[in-house]
Every structure is written in structure tokens, then in C-alpha cells.
Structure 1
Amino acid sequence: MRVSDKTIYTNFLSSYETSATKMQKTLEQLSTEKQVNSASDDPVAASQIINLKSAVAENSMYASTISSATSWNEAQDSALESISDVMLRMRTLVEEAANGTNTTNDDATIKDEVQEDIKQVVSTLNTKFGDSYLFGGENTTTQPFTLETDDDGNITGLTYNGTDQNLSRQISDGVSVDLFANGSKFLTASNSSDTSSTTTTLGSYFGNLVSALNSGDQSALGSDLLGETDDFRDNFVNIRSTIGTLTDRLNSAASVNSSQQTNLKESLSNVQDVDIASAYTQFVQEKTAYQATLAMGSKIMQLNILDYMD
């Protein structure tokens, strides 16, 4: 049966367009280094790419939160370490003041140094992390602790201006941690020197300590106030230990997050990225097929028609 010229022409155009489309798609993949450049290329793969990109972005956000939370804890740890050292120095001074062998000048010097130490403790409790106070609860923009003094400059108490909440942070899908921020936890500590197991406030302790130093109350200095010094220092140490436990958890979370990010990026690469060597080989083959199609067409049809297709 004789095949008409129209059929031959139609078949040639179809073969030509197919070869050209394949070659153009592969060339685009080589140019972008992506297997899928539009949803029409592969709808299933395109959907997977969208979901994986979203997962990578979300995991990256969690990584940033974990890193920021860890830095927050480290800043708190440094502050509480400093306070612990100052409280230890204060204990030594309280012992010296209670021994009964000091001159009036010695007592005055001890009182001045204790007041400076108290100011340093409060200043450290007002430490900022970036623009946020570390120990103000949810009120991170207001200085949490303010010393109270009398007209002579003697410390009489302490005011807490923060809240009694910690700060919640989401570190993975469905998992949150509470960063320590509740500065009210510093205000009380069990008084091991009191047989009735009552509690005293940090502000009252500061005021009573300065008052006893002013009056030379060696009995109070050597008993209740010395014990309260230990109690409040222990409280700072215990809170620091709690923060350290949370830091360990955050470090573990960071390790898991890093592994997840590596897996997600690898999965995304497998779906999205093109194998350059394989794609180039395919391009060469498709180019050869395209040129062969043109060569075959030049033998079947008039060259002036092919000139418009080349």
C-alpha cells in the first residue's frame, strides 16, 4: 500500500517534535541541575519535593530554636556560677564578722564589701541575653530585680519585678521544653539552720545581714545569717544544676535534629537533583537521535521545508 506524502510529513513532524522536546527537557535539567523543573515534569516527584522542602525548613527552624535555647542556658550557667562564687566569698566575710575579734574599722570594711557583693549578685541576676533579661520570667524586657536601700545607702531588701513563669520553646514536632526564667525561684530557700523549717526571702536575708553587720550582732551572724548564706548559695547551685540537665537534653535534641536534617536533605537530593554525568550522556544520545531525525527528513522531504525546522 502506498503511503501518502502527507502521512510521511506528519510522521516526520511527530518524530521531530518528540526528539526536540526530549532534548530540550534534558538540556534544562543540565542547566538547572534539577530533575523536576515544573509540576508537569513529574507530579508525584513535585509533590514529594514540596513536602521535603517544607520538612527541611521546619527542621532548620527547630535547629535555630535549639541553638538559641542552648545559648540561653549557657548564659544562665555563667551567671549562676559567678553568683555562687560571690556567695561563697560572702560566707567567708560573715564568718569573719561573727568571730568577735575585729576592730570597728574591720567591721565597717566587711560591711562595705558585703554590700558590694550583694550589689554584684543582684546585678548578675539582671543579666541580659541579647535584649531579654534571663531571670524575669515572661517579662523579659523589664529589669527583674531592684535593691531597696534606706537614706544612708544601707541595703534593706529586694524587689522582684518579673513573673513566675518559664519560657516554652518547641524543639521538634510535638516536643517542647521550658527554659528556666522564673526569677522568683531565687527569692526563697529552705533554712537548714532553723529547726522549724521556715523560709526567709532573699531580700530579707540581704537586709538582715546588712543590719546585723551595722549593729555588730555576732550571734545572728554566726547562726541564722550564716545558715541562710549557705541555704541561698545552695539554692543558686541547685537551680544551676537544673539548667545543666536541660542543657544536656538540648544537646541531645541538637544531635537528633542534625541527623534528621542530613536525612531530609539526602532524600530531597535524591528526588530533586539530577545526576549530571547520566543526564549529559542522555543528552548526547537525544541530540544524536534529533540530528538523525533531521537527516532522515532531508532525504524524504524537500530541503526548503526543513530549513524552517532546523
Structure 2
Amino acid sequence: MRIANSVVYGDFINNLNLNASTVQDTMHKLSSGKAVSKSSDDPLAAAKIMDYTKALAQNKTYGNTISDSQSWTQTQDSALSSVSTALTRIRSLIQSSANGTNSADEIQANKDEISASLSTMVDALNTSYGDRYVFAGQSTDTKPFSLTKDANGEITGLSYAGSNSNLTREISEGVNLDLATNGSQLMQPTTNGASATVSGNYTKATDLNDYIGKLMTNLNSIIKDPSDKTAQTNLSNGLLADLDNFTNSMVNARTNIGAIENRLQASASLNTSQNLALSQDKSNVQNVDVAQTYMQYQNQMTAYRSTLAMGTKIMQTTILDYL
């Protein structure tokens, strides 16, 4: 049976285009490094790649949240360290003021330094991370603490303007973590001793606002009368004991923040591991095996060159070949 030249030429052109397309596709994979560049390459693989891409983006968001929360807790710990330092200094000044040997001027000097230390403490409690206050509860744009003063500018107490709830962060899918941002808890002593008598006529302070008011009242009493035994006793017993409770409250808050930081560190390690696993799984689906694909390319080029070689022989055929 005689086969027309047009059939031979057509078959050659089809094979040539097929081999060229296959070579071009393999060259694209080698140059891009991707086995799947569009959904038509492999619909099932493309769907998996989209899922991995979404999971990686979500995991990155969680990672950023964890990193931000770690910086937040570190800022809180540093602030409470400054608060504890200020409270330690205030304790020393209270002891000095209660010994009964100081003059009114010396007590006034101690009171002035206590006032300065209280201002330092409040500045630390008003520490911000970026433009967000770290002890303002969920009202992070509200300055939480401020010293209250009378008409003469004398400190009378401490007020809190933040919210009474912690700031919640989602650190992984379905896992939420509360940051210790509720500053109202820092106003409370470690023991619930409201209206409990400590010594003489002194009753335990209910919170820092009450404590500062009692402290300033007794200091003013001694400044007016350095021999005021009641005020001296209040300073040396009740006010010192109360201050220790508030200092312990700050220590407990730092301990809680440390526990949160440890959990965030563990979450950060897990997030990194998940990111590596997801990246590897995506790479296994999307990226080419360079060695294997290059071998395929070599084989395809051999077939392509063979097709070209056969084409030159077909194209050289003339009617003289049939004579």
C-alpha cells in the first residue's frame, strides 16, 4: 500500500512538535525548579500546593504573634524589675523614717524621695511596647496608672484606668494564651487583709491606692510631730508588712509572666518545626527532582534529535528516489 507524502510529512511534524513540547516543558521545570507551575500541570498536586501555601501563611501569622508576645512579656518583666527596685528603696526609707531619731527635715527628705520613687514605679507600670501599654488590660491605648494628688500637689494615692481583663493571643489553631496585662491585679496585695488590724489602730491596706494614702498620712504626721509614736509604729509594723505583701505581689506577677514566656518559647519551637515540615511537604509536591528531571531531559533531547535527523531524510526524498 502506498502512503502519500503528505501523511509522512504530517506524521513527522506531529512527532516533532510533540518532542519539542516535551523538551520545552522539561526545560521549564529545570529552569523554574517547579514540577507544578499551573493547575493544568497536575490538578491534584496543585490543590495540595494551595493547601500547603495557606497553612504556611497561617503558620507565619502565628509565628509573628508568638514573637510579638515574647517581646511583650520581656518588656513586662523588665518593667516589674524596675517596680521591685523602687519598692525596695521605699521600704528602706520607711524604716529610716520610723526609727524615731530623725528630725522633721530628715523625714521630709525621706518623704520627697519616697514620692520620687513612687513616680518611678508608676512610670515603670506605664511602660509601653510600641504604642501599646503592657499593663492596661485590653485597653492598650489607655495610660493605665497615675498618681492622685491634692490641691497642694501632694501624692494621695494611685489610680488605675485600664481594663480588668487580660489580652488574649491566638498562638496556634484553636490555642489561645492570655498575656498578663490586667494591671488592676498589680494593685492588690498577696493576701486579702482588708480591714484586718496589724498593730494598734492600723488596718491593712486594701490596695496600692489605699496603701499610698496611709503611707503619706503617717509620714505627714511624723513631719508635724517627730515624736508621734503611733505614726512611727504604723510605719515600722503595718506599713512595712503591707509593703512586703505588695512586693510579693509584684514577684508573683513576674513569676506568672515567666511561666507565660516559657510557654511562648515552647510554642515558638513548635511553630518553627511545623514551618519546616510544611515547607518540606510543599517542596516534595511542587519542586522537581533535579537529577531525575535532567536525565529525562537528556533522553527527550535524544528523541528530539532523532526526529530531526529522520526529518532531514524525509525532506530529501524526491521523485528520483522512485525511478
Q: TM-score, normalised by structure 1?
A: 0.93
Match of 2:176 in 1: 176
* Alignment of structure 1 residues 1-310 onto 2, 5 Å: 1-189=1-189, 190=191, 194=196, 200-216=206-222, 217-301=231-315
Say if 2:205 and 2:242, in contact at 8 Å, map to a contact too. Answer: no
Paired residue secondary structure (1:34): coil
Moved over 6 A (4+): none
Paired residue secondary structure (2:206): strand
Q: In the TM superposition, what whole-angstrom CA distance separates every residue of 1:49-69 from its partner, at most 9, and x where no partner exists?
A: 111111111111111100000
Letter in structure 2 aligned against 1:278:
Q
Say if 2:204 and 2:242, in contact at 8 Å, map to a contact too. Answer: no
Say if 1:192 and 1:231, in contact at 8 Å, map to a contact too. Answer: no
Say if 1:191 and 1:227, in contact at 8 Å, map to a contact too. Answer: no
In 2, Cα distance between the equivalents of 1:120 and 1:13? 86
Q: Compare 185-194 and 209-218 and name the one that shifted more.
A: 185-194
- CA distance 1:158–1:303, change in 2 (3 Å): farther
In 1, Cα distance between the equivalents of 2:245 and 2:45? 63
Say if 2:204 and 2:238, in contact at 8 Å, map to a contact too. Answer: no
Count of equivalent residues: 304
- In the TM superposition, what is the alpha-carbon distance from 1:240 to its structure 2 partner? 1.1
Q: In the TM superposition, what whole-angstrom CA distance separates every residue of 1:211-258 from its partner, at most 9, and x where no partner exists?
A: 211111212111221111111111111111111111110000011111
- In the TM superposition, what is the alpha-carbon distance from 1:48 to its structure 2 partner? 1.1
In 1, Cα distance between the equivalents of 2:317 and 2:153? 105
Query: Gaps spanning 5+ residues in structure 2: where?
Result: 223-230, 319-323
**RMSD of aligned alpha carbons:** 2.0
Match of 1:308 in 2: none
In 1, Cα distance between the equivalents of 2:302 and 2:102? 102
- CA distance 1:117–1:96, change in 2 (3 Å): same
Q: Compare 229-238 and 281-290 and name the one that shifted more.
A: 281-290
Paired residue secondary structure (1:223): helix
- CA distance 1:108–1:52, change in 2 (3 Å): same
Q: In the TM superposition, what whole-angstrom CA distance separates every residue of 1:27-77 from its partner, at most 9, and x where no partner exists?
A: 111221111111111111111111111111111111110000011000000
Letter in structure 2 aligned against 1:205:
Y
Q: In the TM superposition, what whole-angstrom CA distance separates every residue of 1:146-171 from its partner, at most 9, and x where no partner exists?
A: 11111222110112111111111111
Q: TM-score, normalised by structure 2?
A: 0.89
